[in-house]
Amino acid sequence: MDIQKGRPENTEGRTEKEIRVYDLLDKLGIEYERVDHEPAETMEACAEIDEVLAPAVICKNLLLCNRQQDRFYLLMIKEDKKFKTKEISQQINSARLSFAPSEYMERFLDITPGSVSVMGLMNDEENNVQLLVDEDVINAEYVGCHPCINTSSMRLKTADVFGTFLKAVHHDYKTVVLKGEE
């Protein structure tokens, strides 16, 4: 598994949504490195990928919603932290958070389960999803994510993602603090 700089030379067999991510990053002048791999649907499957992308913080990306399913959140936390509903709910004043049904991933972010990524916010033109980011992710120099498909992973500068990228896709974020304890 080799890390490559920038977009793939040959896009044959790549999905349209993956190519749109590379197109946008290139248009914005955001540098990134990329590694192609077998589908990585779980954090356990990402262990080898994580080593290649080091020192990037590899994130769990969780699409959450409130009980009424009228408020949606994309939560980015470090892979070694545990998601606790109570911790997040208190910080965003939204009770009864749970995992959003997969149809909302596709409707709002054009992403399927196992491929959830901050890059999906480029497809959320109506701002249906609020980005929540663990402070440990924000404080890292690099962040790792999928380009809306789980057969590639990227390493980008955190400042580029949470500055240039989010500004271009008209999203902001809220920093949350997760203790990550059992």
Report the predicted TM-score, pTM, of the whole model to 2 decimal places. 0.92
- Considering the domain delimited by 14-174, tell me its CATH architecture: Alpha-Beta Complex (3.90)
What pLDDT was estimated at residue 45?
66
pLDDT of residue 180 exceeding 80: no
What pLDDT was estimated at residue 124?
97
Q: What are the domain boundaries of the chain?
A: 14-174
C-alpha dihedral sign at 164, 123, 129, 46: negative
Kindly write down the DSSP assignment for every residue of 13-57, as one continuous string.
T--HHHHHHHHHHHHHT--EEEEE-S---STGGGHHHHHHHTTSE
pLDDT of residue 182 exceeding 50: no
Give pLDDT tens digits for 26-75.
Answer: 999 999 999 998 887 666 667 778 888 889 888 889 999 998 999 999 99
Residue pair 126/109 in contact by the 8 Å Cβ criterion: no
Give pLDDT tens digits for 107-139.
Answer: 999 999 888 999 999 999 999 999 999 999 999
